Amino acid sequence: MKHYKVVAAVIEHKGAILCTQKGEHNYPYLSYKYEFPGGKVERGERDEDALIREIDEELALCITVNRKIAVVNHQYPDFMITLTAFHCNSTSREVTLVEHLHAIWLPKEKLKTLAWAAADQPILQYL
């Protein structure tokens, strides 16, 4: 079974957190679920550098990586991921959706109202 090392950004701007929604996915259990944006870490790449690169590529958003929040190991039916989440800040809420269907900025107390991807759900308890 494939195992991916991925990073996720919990991006905060003026008290709100960025939540991004996946579109239709090869794995139906991930379709239309919300996630903290991020992506795969390339070989030899530092987690923080991967996060900055992925957020720039997927959202055209400049972030500052502050601190590690959590590491989540999650077994999906078809693959496993080790997801490292970082608290980040941005100077803007302006995003360009390249890979996501939707993006919304929400206060922390409203995050649990969204349908999250299973691997992202545990991160909510650290916020």
Inter-residue contact 47 to 84 (CB < 8 Å): yes
* pTM of full prediction above 0.85: yes
Q: What is the mean pLDDT of residues 19-32?
A: 94
Supply the pLDDT for residue 62.
Answer: 96
**Model confidence band, residue 93 (pLDDT cutoffs 50, 70, 90):** very high
Supply the pLDDT for residue 34.
Answer: 98
- Cα–Cα nearest to 16, from 67, 112, 89, 113: 89
Q: Which two tokens stand for residue 38?
A: 């991020």
Mean pLDDT of the chain: 97
**Domains of the chain (ranges, CATH numbers):** 2-126 (3.90.79.10)
Q: What is the mean pLDDT of residues 31-53?
A: 97
CA-CA distance, 29 to 36, in Å (whole number)? 16
Q: What is the mean pLDDT of residues 21-41?
A: 95
Which of 1-27 are b and which e, b meaning 16 or more Cβ less than 10 Å from the residue's Cβ? Answer: eeeeebbbbbbbbeebbbbbbbeeeee
